[in-house]
Amino acid sequence: MNQAAIDDLLGFLRFPSVSTQHDHAGDMRACAEWLRGRCEKAGLSARMEETGGCPCVVAETPKDSAKRTVLIYGHYDVQPPEPLEEWTTPPFEPDIRDGKIFARGATDNKGQILAHLLGVEQTLAEKGNLPVNVIFLIEGEEEIGSPNLGALTSKLKQELACDVIVISDTGMVVHGHPTLTFSLRGITSLEIRVSGPSHDLHSGVFGGAVANPATVVARLIASLHDEKGHVAVEGFYDDVRPMFDWEVQASEALPVREEDIRELSGVPELTGESGYSAIDRIGARPTAEVNGIGGGYQGEGTKTVLPKEAFAKLTFRLVPHQDPEEIQNLVMDHLKKHCPPGVHLEIIRGHHGEPYYTDPNSLYGHAARQALSRTFGKETALLREGGSIPILGTFQQILGAEVLLLALASPDCRAHSPNENFPLENFEAGIRLNQAVLEEIGNLPR
Question: What is the binding site for ligand BES (CB under 6 A)?
Answer: 108-109, 142-143, 145, 169-171, 184, 187, 351, 353, 385, 387-390
Those residues whose C-beta lies under 8 Å from the C-beta of residue 65, and which sit 6 or more positions away, are none
Kindly tell me which of 143 and 309 has the beta carbon lying closer to ligand BES.
Answer: 143
User: Coil, strand or helix: which one is 275?
Assistant: coil
Pairing of strands 69-75, 133-139: parallel
Cβ 24 to ligand BES, closest distance in Å? 16
In this chain, which residue has its C-beta nearest to ligand BES? 387
Helices 424-443 and 363-376: crossing angle in degrees, nearest 10, is 140
- Least distance in angstroms from the C-beta of 386 to ligand BES: 6
Residue 145 binds which of ligand BES, Zn ion, none (CB < 5-8 A, kind-dependent): ligand BES
- C-alpha 134/C-alpha 150 separation (Å) is 20
Residue closer to ligand BES (CB basis): 79 or 133: 79
CA distance 376 to 364: 18
Partner from ligand BES, Zn ion, none binding residue 345, C-beta < 5-8 Å depending on class = none
Residue 337's H or E segment, with its range, is: helix 324-338
Q: Which residues contact 230 (CB under 8 A, 6 or more apart)?
A: 237, 273, 274
CB nearer to ligand BES: pick between 80 and 197: 80
Other CB atoms within a 10 A radius of the CB of residue 405 amount to 24
Residues that contact Zn ion, how many (by CB under 5 A): 1
Whose Cβ is closer to Zn ion: residue 108's or residue 402's?
108
Nearer to ligand BES, 231 or 383 (CB): 383
Contact between 139 and Zn ion by CB under 5 A: the answer reads no
Residue 140 CB, nearest approach to Zn ion (Å) = 13
Q: Quick one: 338 or 416, whose CB is closer to ligand BES?
A: 416
Minimum distance of ligand BES from residue 282's CB (angstroms): 9
| Position with the least CB separation from Zn ion | 108
Is residue 163 a contact residue for Zn ion (CB under 5 A)?
Answer: no
**Half-sphere exposure at residue 219, Cβ-oriented, CA atoms within 13 angstroms:** 15
Which of positions 70-109 make contact with Zn ion (CB under 5 A)?
A: 108
Structure letter (DSSP) for residue 79 = -
Closest C-alpha among 285, 279, 273 to residue 260: 279
CA pair distance 383, 321, nearest whole angstrom: 18
Choice between 109 and 322, CB closer to ligand BES: 109
C-alpha span between 8 and 3 (Å, rounded): 9
Write out the residues near Zn ion by the rule CB under 5 A: 108
